[in-house]
Structure 1
Amino acid sequence: MYVRIFAAVWLIVCAFLAVVAWGFQAPFSYDPVGPRAYPLLLLCLMATAALWLIYKPGDGPDLPISWPLARKVVLCVLALVAYAVLFEPLGFVVSTTLVGFSMGLLFMGRPLPSLVSGVLMGVLLYGLFDYLLDVPLPLGVLGILEN
């Protein structure tokens, strides 16, 4: 029951986001397929998975949603919203480090390994995107280290 409700809501959200993504336009052409192909592809895959869950939700028993699980989901969504808000002002490395650290703690990780993995994730992903893939990312507060 809960799986089908979740899948139906997920399908509605995918449809709404597909309408939003359809309007993506780039002011200059840097990619032959444009900026809307990747989000539309992901939304199509998510909508297909939602339709599958509506059609065949699984054999297991329906488990009620527990308060600790709901709390984790809400905190996870809040962390991702904070990531989106802080991405430009703090920069990619710092905001990714913070969200990696907070997710590690949220899923019962110890503080030091969560911090180390957050820092490594921020720095290594920045190197991957900026240097190997030529995708410019904001440095934010670390912009003073650029030159």
Structure 2
Amino acid sequence: MNDRVLGAAALLLAAYLTWQGWGLQAPFAYEPVGPRAFPLLLALVIALCGAWLLVKGRFVAAGNPPGANGRIALLVGLVAGYALLFQWLGFVIATALMVTVVGRLFGGTWRNCVVGGVSMGVLFFLLFDKLLDVVLPTGILGGLL
């Protein structure tokens, strides 16, 4: 795939995000910007990058090394599993499992991956849920958090 094809795909993705994000509205005003701000800003960044690739792109990407496509497919499956189990397991456990498995996938030791996964799950929960007041699911941990 060359840069211009990727740029065109990025512009299509940005158009889709804009189309889907434009109609997002909260039933009540809880933030000044509302829920549509994130997808529209993301679409803008993707569109700018895609346009840059269309204008300046001239390189052809090298093929993936052996085994990379399998790891990419596994990552897609992991993200889907994370999304499915996020509510039931809760943020801390789902994030700890995801970070641990992704760390192992990229060659980390079990010890480092588990410590990193648990640390990220707990610290990000504390940051978002307690400090920034973003409500995250506690899942099976229930009232412990």
TM-score by length of 2: 0.89
Q: CA RMSD in A?
A: 1.8
Count how many residue pairs are aligned between Structure 1 and Structure 2: 145
In 1, Cα distance between equivalents of 2:84 and 2:93: 12
SS at 2:67 equivalent: helix
CA drift of 1:99 comes to 1.0
Q: 1:47 — aligned with what?
A: 47
Structure 1: tracts of 5 or more residues without a match: none
2:99 corresponds to 1:94? no
Q: 1:143 — aligned with what?
A: 142
Contact 2:3 2:60 in 1 (8 A): no
Contact 2:99 2:116 in 1 (8 A): yes
TM-score by length of 1: 0.88
Letter paired with 2:98: V
In 2, Cα distance between equivalents of 1:139 and 1:100: 17
In 2, Cα distance between equivalents of 1:30 and 1:94: 28
Could you report, residue by residue, the CA deviation over 1:68-99 in whole angstroms, capped at 9, with x for unpaired residues? Answer: 22222222221111111111111111111111
CA drift of 1:16 comes to 1.1
Q: 1:36 — aligned with what?
A: 36
Structure 2: tracts of 5 or more residues without a match: none
Gap change, CA 1:5 and 1:61, over 3 Å in 2: closer
Q: 2:57 — aligned with what?
A: 57
Give matches, 1:11-22, under 5 Å.
11-22=11-22
Letter paired with 1:72: R
